Structure 1
Amino acid sequence: MKLNYKTIKLLSLFLMASATLASCSDSKNSTTTAVEVVDVKVEKSIVPESNGYFNTSGQIEADQFANISTRMMGYVSKVYVKVGQNVRKGQALIDINNADMEAKKAQAQAGISQAEARFLTADKNLKRYQTLFEQKSASQKEFDDVNTQYSIAKAQLESARQVRKEVEAILSYTNIRAPFSGVITSKSVKVGDMANPGQHLLSIEAPNNFVAIAMVPEMNIPYVRQNDSVKVYVKSNEKTLYGTVSEISTSSQNSGGQYLVKIKLEIPEDVRLYSGMFISAVFPSSQNQTTQVLIPKSALIRKGDLQGIYTVSSSNTAILRWLKLGRSVGDHIEVLSGLSEGEQYIVSAESKLYNGVKLNIK
């Protein structure tokens, strides 16, 4: 079939337009590919060298603290402190109305004054009669009677002094003072309240002296030893601290079947702790050997009930892999399946990741 000039010209224009569109398409694809390269940081999965451990929960507590109460009943007349206030040892905290005890103290002091006067008189009489007895001017009976009166006066004076000590001891429960220097952490009374014996009034803690109290199950407590090194993960601020076992309870009768273990902490200056913060403690144990790898929880990807991690393919692209996870170990978690030792996984990315995206590993 012969083509005329007009047809040939139209075909030429069509071919040129197609070539131009293809060129634009290639340019656009090239630009898109360049944009989709994601900068990432990766780590290799490893099995920890010390892989015998068990994990348990607990709380941060002050190593020195006191819940302050009174043995006296009375109205609260003064409260000198507020929550969060620093106090020094011996500083006045609370006064409870003690008018009756002040009256008894005055009576005790008056009793001492009377007893001292009788004692001084008895002492003088004893010395005088002893001289008379030595000069044969007083009989044995007279000297014995005076000596007895002296002993009675001395005993009465001591008794009066002990009464005053008793009253002062009772008064110490109405004029409550700080047992040590610290911070007031709670206050449950105000002026005008009735204070009862044994009622909680204040709590005080020594500052900057915190320990971790871990609750260890019965199956694990036999493997906890004094001075064991322990890793402590503080959940609220995501800090990892280190410490050593300082005390081990041998009874779970009052702790719900859990054994209390105190951990002395090494606290860096930039870490701020508060009593009551929840922790996760990782104890060493030769009875809990594992060959599973650990990965940081921050690297996990969550979609509904599924949890996974982005790995790096042989062609340097991202691949989302779903994992079967085990127990938590501080800020890490155990991988039961889905990731082998030595495989690379992505711990952070500068933009959104998805399957097949090109990676630039930093």
Structure 2
Amino acid sequence: MNLRNILLVIPALTLLAACGDSNQGKPVDDTTAILVKVSPMSPSKSGATLYASGTIEAVQSANISTRIMGFVQRLRVKPGDKVRKGTVLIEINNADITAKRAQVRANILAAEAAFANVEKDYGRYKARFGAQSASQKEMDDISAQYQMAKAKLEAARQMEQEVEAQMNYVRIKSPFNGVVTNTFVKEGDLANPGMPLLEVESPDQFQVVAMVPESDISKITQDMTVNVHLKTLDQWLSGRVSEVSSSSKNTGGQYLVKVILE
């Protein structure tokens, strides 16, 4: 959720976040205004009010994408669906990987059968060699066949692991427990590598993200106690400053501040 108009109130300094307060000639913004009161251990009695724009967002969120190109074969979820870690969210149709997977499985079956036969022969020759009824050359030959068959089976299984890793980009799973908040494609659409397909967020924990000007950033410290007021609900929540950006190089002189809601 994006709840704009965040007010950070700090003794000796007040930060005000206002995103578009003027509604003249514009539709009314139905987002919820929230008040964030930051309380240091030794507050000062003096203070001004400072405004900074910000949002409330999930601490854990992910835009789900794929690394391969293919058509969306099946979209298993919709916005609002709860998912568990490992739940298949979307399936991409990629004929090359599907065919490769089938070939690898066939190779494994053949390698397993060949290894089983050589293993039996190896056991017989080993027993005969111990009884001195098989020559050293025969033992060397069957040992070489045994090692070769074993290596082929291991190589086939290694290839299976590689193909299964590629299958993770065909049958894309949720990286954590959460809720599907958005989908960007539908069945039949072409999915390109890196293209966002859907979004998953964890509803367990949220944070306030605000931008603070350089002149005031020194008044905010990590782990500072914060009280968050949801204005429309007239509800207070507690929070803690979890991150204070050390640079404003690419943000127009504004510093990113994050407050974990507890």
> Residue in 2 aligned with 1:224?
220
Q: Cα–Cα, structure 1 residues 253 and 168, in superposed 2: closer, same or farther, change >3 Å?
A: farther
With normalisation by structure 1, the TM-score equals 0.54
Q: Cα–Cα, structure 1 residues 67 and 254, in superposed 2: closer, same or farther, change >3 Å?
A: farther
> Residue in 2 aligned with 1:338?
none
Q: Cα–Cα, structure 1 residues 126 and 198, in superposed 2: closer, same or farther, change >3 Å?
A: same
Cα contact 1:96–1:174 (8 A) shared by 2: yes
Inter-partner Cα distance in structure 1 for 2:257 and 2:161: 41
Is the counterpart of residue 77 in structure 1 residue 76 in structure 2?
no
> Residue in 2 aligned with 1:51?
46
User: Given residue 226 of structure 2, which amino acid in structure 1 is its aligned partner?
Assistant: V
**Which of 230, 241, 244 is equivalent to 1:245?**
241
Inter-partner Cα distance in structure 2 for 1:201 and 1:105: 24
Aligned length: 219
Is the counterpart of residue 259 in structure 1 residue 231 in structure 2?
no
Deviation digits for residues 238-289 of structure 1 (CA, Å, limit 9, x no counterpart): 75543111233334455454333321124xxxxxxxxxxxxxxxxxxxxxxx
Cα contact 2:69–2:94 (8 A) shared by 1: no
**Which deviates the most, 96-105 or 187-196?**
96-105
> Residue in 2 aligned with 1:103?
99
Deviation digits for residues 172-227 of structure 1 (CA, Å, limit 9, x no counterpart): 21122222222221111111110001100000111242111222334444443332
User: Given residue 79 of structure 1, which amino acid in structure 2 is its aligned partner?
Assistant: L
> Residue in 2 aligned with 1:122?
118
Gaps of 5+ in 1: 1-47, 267-362
User: Given residue 46 of structure 2, which amino acid in structure 1 is its aligned partner?
Assistant: N
Is the counterpart of residue 148 in structure 1 residue 165 in structure 2?
no
Cα contact 2:75–2:186 (8 A) shared by 1: yes
Q: Cα–Cα, structure 1 residues 218 and 126, in superposed 2: closer, same or farther, change >3 Å?
A: farther
SS in 2 for 1:103: helix
**Which deviates the most, 69-78 or 125-134?**
125-134
**Which of 123, 129, 135 is equivalent to 1:139?**
135
> Residue in 1 aligned with 2:37?
none
User: Given residue 123 of structure 1, which amino acid in structure 2 is its aligned partner?
Assistant: E
Gaps of 5+ in 2: 1-42
Inter-partner Cα distance in structure 1 for 2:219 and 2:208: 18
Is the counterpart of residue 68 in structure 1 residue 68 in structure 2?
no
Q: Cα–Cα, structure 1 residues 125 and 254, in superposed 2: closer, same or farther, change >3 Å?
A: farther
**Which deviates the most, 182-191 or 90-99?**
90-99
User: Given residue 203 of structure 1, which amino acid in structure 2 is its aligned partner?
Assistant: E
Q: Cα–Cα, structure 1 residues 234 and 256, in superposed 2: closer, same or farther, change >3 Å?
A: farther
> Residue in 2 aligned with 1:113?
109
Q: Cα–Cα, structure 1 residues 114 and 256, in superposed 2: closer, same or farther, change >3 Å?
A: farther
> Residue in 2 aligned with 1:159?
155
Q: Cα–Cα, structure 1 residues 151 and 223, in superposed 2: closer, same or farther, change >3 Å?
A: farther
Structure having the higher Rg: 1
| Cα root mean square deviation, aligned | 2.6
